[in-house]
Structure 1
Amino acid sequence: MSDAPAEGPLGYLDVSAPGVPKRRVPIFGQLFVGRECAGIAPARRMVIDDPQISRNHLEVRLDAETARAFVIDTSTNGTRINGMRLERAVPMPIKSGDVIVLGDLTLTFDAERFTGSSHVDPGLTRARINLSPMVMVVGDIVNYSTLSEMTDPGVIASGLSVLWGELGAILRAHRGTLNHYAGDALYAVWEPSAVPDAVALAITFALAANDRVGVLGPELPLRNPDGSPIRMGWAVVQGDAALSAMTRSVEAVIGDSTNVAFRLSGLAGRDGRAAVMVTAAVQRAARDRFMWGPSEQVMLKGRQGQETVFAVVAPATAQQPAVTDGAMPAHRTGPARQ
């Protein structure tokens, strides 16, 4: 029985590569292309067994109401449209007939209703995208690369589907918006203008999600090399994001705040650190709402200077008052392992 949506495809990708028969892949609103595309329904993913292709290389997104189509590059090695290299994580408009190239693969977009110009009008872009403060949470699976090398891709996909489903429900309960899953990571945002308690909700979500991973992990068929269940590291960061009117969702993050979130999540839960860590700005905004571990000066890859980060211990309670920074004497300082 097919799992394809009943309404039928909105468009197609005609796929060709040297020495490989051509094929036509339907697009049901969204199509994820990559080496794994873990956690994505089969009808909405195109898996490519090629080491040049990232686990989650790109996404094609079609908006039937506005007859606009976009491709979003999320890869390591990059993507080209009509010979032009895409900027990572920034949606690029496409039209029927445009050619997308990744590695040795050529994808030709074909859709009758998406025939408008794919050229970006700078004036239109400024009108449709607005900067807004955001609170961002990234949850990253510890040792995912090693785990994925020793685990069957089908087992990974089914396990991540369960995991992301559980964490998605917790996210909705905490009024967060899922931006995307990046294979081994979850990326979510809160808009303080719409959710006044955004910082506290984001931290509470990270704590609750981490607790759920602790309970769910032993039930999942995903194991570390030593046989232990999966763990995740969580980072909470504040910064600016670009809001697109296309889907009323966050399409791209401006500046380096999102990079800080991903890099800090890669430190959390490792080398004796707490599973949930936040930047100094987040800690100041929620100082009295949570119990804090010691601050730490870390070097984040790709940035100059040190970042001050804090471990989150637990929500503060009437019986157990919040610990402010400086109350715990043990502070670790120095570059963090990348």
Structure 2
Amino acid sequence: MPPELSNSETSLQWQDEQGVPHRLVLTDKIFLGRVCRGIEPDKCIIVRNPTVSRDHAVVRLTRDGVEITDLSKNGTWVNDVRMAPGASRQLADGDCISLGGTAIIRISHPQAAPLPSATDTWGEQTAIKPAAAFITSLVADVRGFTAFSQHAESADVYTFIKAIFARFTTIVNAHHGTVKDYIGDAVFAFWEHPDGCAGDYAVSACQAAIDQMRSVPEIHRQLIRRGLTVEPPRLGWGLTSGLITLSHFGSRSADLALVGDCVNLAFRLSSMASKTLPGPIVMCAQTASLVSARLPLVDLGNQSIRGRAGEEHLFGLQVT
């Protein structure tokens, strides 16, 4: 340990390509990336891997503690949970950051790697890495939102949907999921299964759906306190599990793409829950197989789904 660094100082630690440990004190900001061009050597950590973006993430001290912001195309993970593209989150002592599926950086005590030279070719282009992943998807769909939007003031519509999205996002984060998108009147979140088809992640997604459902009465009371005369929000939840391809369609870091049939199915199920299907939380057979030993389910049988060939064996999640 270099003598000038104190154990009481906030810092990062990592290993370079040769396995040599480093420590870097965090006094303001530390930039993480493949190039970080123009950043002073004591303000950045260079990770020479083509899946790491040139400017991948930034860790900063804030009034509330230590915060990381994702700037990448291939993703930033904190404690094996993918951050939403472009999002920020608080870090705690001992948290581990992973860049693009590589380079583990721990919140503790490290030292900077050198900047690349002017002739370094790593800065040309980030290698986008399409990857297969097993995920559990959760889609929460607001009922009657189009009709409400047609007659309500835009400010009221904003307050209504923001209250739902904010609470639901907090719940997803609490259950270690990632919010992918807010699409119209729906919230789309997912849980990656880094160890393959594992039940714990699917159970976390189901528990998030339950907690979201249970939060709706308080959201309604919150809206009433803000002066909105609205009916209690009505929603449906769809849960699916399966293999997807995770990559990008566009040039922005926020253009994360999750492509797979199970994602499409989650949206379909959320629109059918409590409408053509009984119960507010509906899941596919794959998800049911992962959670049936730990959560009470109702067999809904084989069901036809609009726009899809054949039938799907579906299950409902019992909530008391």
Normalization by structure 1: what TM-score? 0.52
User: CA separation in 2, counterparts of 1:250 and 1:288?
Assistant: 36
Q: State the alpha-carbon separation in 1 of the partners of residues 230 and 280 from structure 2.
A: 19
Which AA in structure 2 matches 1:169? Answer: T
Q: How does 1:83-98 map to 2 (within 5 A)?
A: none
Amino acid at match of 1:168: T
2:279 is matched with 274
Deviations 1:227-286 (A, max 9, x none): 631111001101223334899888212232111000100011225621111101111111
Alpha-carbon distance change, 193 to 267 in structure 1, aligned in 2, over 3 angstroms: same
Point out which structure has higher relative CO (alpha carbons under 8 A, 6+ apart): 2
Aligned to 1:65: 55
Residue of structure 1 aligned with 2:238, choices 218, 224, 235:
235
- Identity over aligned pairs, percent: 23
Partner of 1:138: 139
Residue in structure 2 matched with residue 174 of structure 1 by the alignment: 175
CA contact (8 A) 1:217 1:231 kept: no
Q: Is the 8 A contact 1:141 1:233 kept in 2?
A: yes
- Structure 1 equivalent of residue 184 of structure 2: 183
CA drift at 1:300? 1.5
Residue in 2 that maps onto 1:313: 318
Alignment-derived partner of residue 155 in structure 2: 154
> Residue 286 and residue 272 in structure 1: after superposition, are their counterparts in 2 closer, same or farther (change >3 A)?
closer
Structure 1 residues without counterparts, runs of 5 or longer: 1-62, 71-120, 316-338
1:293 matches 2:298: yes
C-alpha contact 2:220 2:233 (8 A) present in aligned 1: yes
CA distance in structure 2 between the partners assigned to 1:303 and 1:272 by the alignment? 16
Distance, in Å, in 2 between the alignment partners of 1:303 and 1:314 is: 28
CA–CA separation in structure 2 for the residues paired with 1:276 and 1:129: 31
Q: Take 2:163 and 2:290, find their aligned partners in 1: how far apart are those partners?
A: 33
Deviations 1:58-100 (A, max 9, x none): xxxxx8826x999xxxxxxxxxxxxxxxxxxxxxxxxxxxxxx
Contact 1:235–1:265, Cα closer than 8 Å, also in 2 = yes
CA distance in 2, matches of 1:136, 1:283: 13
Work out the CA distance in 2 between the residues paired with 1:310 and 1:214.
Answer: 25
Matched residue, 2:119: none
What's 1:83 paired with?
A: none
CA–CA distance in structure 2, aligned partners of residues 155 and 174 of structure 1: 29
Q: Deviations over 1:139-193 (max 9, x none)?
A: 0001222222122221111221122111111111100001011120000010111
The separation in 1 between residues aligned to 2:296 and 2:186, in whole angstroms, is 25
Q: Report the alpha carbon displacement of residue 311 of structure 1 after superposing the two structures with TM.
A: 0.8
Pair 1:228–1:286, CA change in 2 (3 A): same
Do 1:242 and 1:251's aligned partners in 2 also have CA atoms closer than 8 Å? Answer: no
The equivalent residue for 1:257 is 262
3-state SS, counterpart of residue 275 of structure 2: coil
Q: 1:211 to 1:303 in 2, by over 3 A?
A: same
CA distance in 1, matches of 2:305, 2:147: 22
Tell me the number of residue pairs that the alignment of Structure 1 and Structure 2 aligns.
197
Question: Contact 1:132 / 1:243 at 8 angstroms: preserved in 2?
Answer: yes
